[in-house]
Amino acid sequence: MTKPLDPDMFDPLCPSDLVPIRVGDKWAGMIIQCLENGPRRFSELRVPLRNISSKVLTQSLRALERDGFVVRTVHVGPAQHIQYELTSLGRSLLDLLDAARAWAEAHLDELIEAREAASPASHTS
Question: What whole-number distance in Å separates Cα of residue 1 and Cα of residue 108?
Answer: 36
Reported as a pLDDT band with limits 50, 70 and 90, residue 102 is confident
Note the pLDDT of residue 120: 78
- pTM as predicted: 0.77
Q: What domains appear along the chain, each with residue ranges and CATH number?
A: 24-118 (1.10.10.10)
Reported as a pLDDT band with limits 50, 70 and 90, residue 37 is very high
pLDDT for residue 18 is more than 70: no
Note the pLDDT of residue 20: 53
Element (H, E) at 99: helix 94-106
User: Based on C-alpha coordinates, what's the Rg of the chain?
Assistant: 17
Please state the rounded mean pLDDT for residues 22-48. Answer: 90
